[in-house]
Amino acid sequence: MKLFGIDFGKLILAPMAEISDAAFRKISRKFGAGLVFTQMVSADGALKNNFTTLRYLSFARNEKPIGVQVLGNDPKILGPAVKEILKFNPDIIDLNSGCPVSKVTSNNMGSSLMDDPKHLGKLINSMVKSAGSTPISVKFRLGKDLTKINIIESAKAAEDNGAAFITVHVRTSTGKYDERPRYEWLNKVKEAVKIPLVANGSIFSLEDALYVKENFNVDGLMIARGALGNPFIFQRFNTFTEKGFDPGPPDLSLVKETLFEHINLLKLEFGEILALDKAKKHSIWYLREYNGITKLLEKIFAVKDLNSLYELLENHFNKILSGFYPEEDRAIIQEKFFKRVLFWLLEDNYKILSKTA
């Protein structure tokens, strides 16, 4: 389905602090993401032309269609901030009403906006008035906790104040990532509002994406953690929906080519030094499904520069190809990955938010 000239029949790359940078967005678009988002940027920072904020929200033409996500809680700031952001010509501007990180919620931003749907409506209204023909969207969780789910009131506030569509991450704010995704709420939201609904939460595979698409009344699917080290999911989904078959996981040579391209883009975007830690993280994500990941984890943190990283990876790919590494217990690796990935990601969130929010 095309909405505002954007193909919502394709998977959407979620905003992710420190992850949804230009490099990852370009890779995701290359593999077929229908829409990508910047990470959240502070409305105040955009208004004041803060250097870091502008850097986070800028993008290249080949990343479009792209949405810029904004964090704020004051209609007098959000409206003018939208005008500043429009200078970059994004396809969508999204209001973050879902971030549960305490640094954000304690400033009454992110998911705490859901505590007061009336105020939320005013924020959306001020953004819509400033945005002209550019659509304003809102990204929600279900509510504060399982006893205070108020996604219906929040979705209605979005619709009544001119939001073009909403995205719902089907967990509560206090549930962070520990709750099971409650997809059943998607149909209730869809019954309550007419604007398009994008589903988000725990879509890690083609099967997960098809399950949500086929069983719930949604207009689009957004994916965050499932795209880490796996931009191939965009292509698999598109091939399945357009041609009716799953091309399967990528072969190792495509994984290598894509990881190296991703690292090169990080280098271009951030320079050698800042790119290094990001490149290490992505390397682990791309390679976590393969034997030898435990060995890679042992070595990768000692790597001091990008050239040594390329060398280590080249060697690692050769060893995987030659069957050098013994079988690893996938269940243990997956469990570690989830714990570690979230640990990293949350650490990153804190770092970034303390710098810019």
Ligand X SMILES: Cc1cc2nc3c(=O)[nH]c(=O)nc-3n(C[C@H](O)[C@H](O)[C@H](O)COP(=O)(O)O)c2cc1C
- Rule CB under 6 A: which residues touch ligand X? 14-17, 19, 39-40, 69, 96, 98-99, 139, 169, 200-203, 223-226, 345, 348-349
Provide the minimum distance between the beta carbon of 142 and ligand X in the complex, in angstroms, as a whole number.
Answer: 12
Provide the minimum distance between the beta carbon of 303 and ligand X in the complex, in angstroms, as a whole number.
Answer: 22
Provide the minimum distance between the beta carbon of 341 and ligand X in the complex, in angstroms, as a whole number.
Answer: 8
Stated as kind and residue range, the H or E segment containing 317 is helix 306-321
Cα separation of 335 and 111, whole Å?
27
Helices first, then strands: H and E counts in the chain: 14, 10
Q: Which is nearer to ligand X, 196 or 226 (CB)?
A: 226
Q: Which is nearer to ligand X, 181 or 256 (CB)?
A: 181
Q: Which is nearer to ligand X, 223 or 293 (CB)?
A: 223
Structure letter (DSSP) for residue 301: T
Cis omega (within 30 of 0) for bond into 65: yes
Tokens of 195: 């604007």
Q: Which is nearer to ligand X, 36 or 320 (CB)?
A: 36
Q: Contact, 6 vs 33, CB < 8 A?
A: no
Q: Which is nearer to ligand X, 92 or 320 (CB)?
A: 92
Q: Which is nearer to ligand X, 230 or 349 (CB)?
A: 349
Instruction: Name the burial class of residue 323, with classes exposed (0-12), middle (13-18) and buried (19+) by CB atoms within 10 angstroms of its CB.
Output: exposed
Q: Which is nearer to ligand X, 6 or 19 (CB)?
A: 19
Provide the minimum distance between the beta carbon of 192 and ligand X in the complex, in angstroms, as a whole number.
Answer: 20
Residue 312's contacts (CB-CB under 8 Å, 6 or more residues apart) are 296, 299, 300, 303
- What Cα–Cα distance (Å) separates residue 316 from each residue in 131, 299, 300, 301, 320? 49, 10, 11, 14, 6
Provide the minimum distance between the beta carbon of 322 and ligand X in the complex, in angstroms, as a whole number.
Answer: 34
Provide the minimum distance between the beta carbon of 71 and ligand X in the complex, in angstroms, as a whole number.
Answer: 8
Q: Which is nearer to ligand X, 168 or 195 (CB)?
A: 168
Stated as kind and residue range, the H or E segment containing 220 is strand 220-223
Q: 171: helix, coil or strand?
A: coil
Stated as kind and residue range, the H or E segment containing 67 is strand 66-71
Q: Which is nearer to ligand X, 288 or 316 (CB)?
A: 288
Provide the minimum distance between the beta carbon of 334 and ligand X in the complex, in angstroms, as a whole number.
Answer: 15
Provide the minimum distance between the beta carbon of 200 and ligand X in the complex, in angstroms, as a whole number.
Answer: 5
Provide the minimum distance between the beta carbon of 208 and ligand X in the complex, in angstroms, as a whole number.
Answer: 9
List, as own/partner pairs, every contact residues 107-114 make where C-beta atoms lie below 8 angstroms and the sequence separation is at least 24, other chains included. 107/73, 107/357, 108/73, 109/71, 109/72, 109/73, 109/357, 110/40, 110/71, 111/140, 111/141, 111/144, 111/173, 112/173, 113/73, 114/140, 114/141, 114/143, 114/144, 114/150, 114/151, 114/154, 114/173
Identify the sign of the CA torsion 109, 86, 93, 226: negative
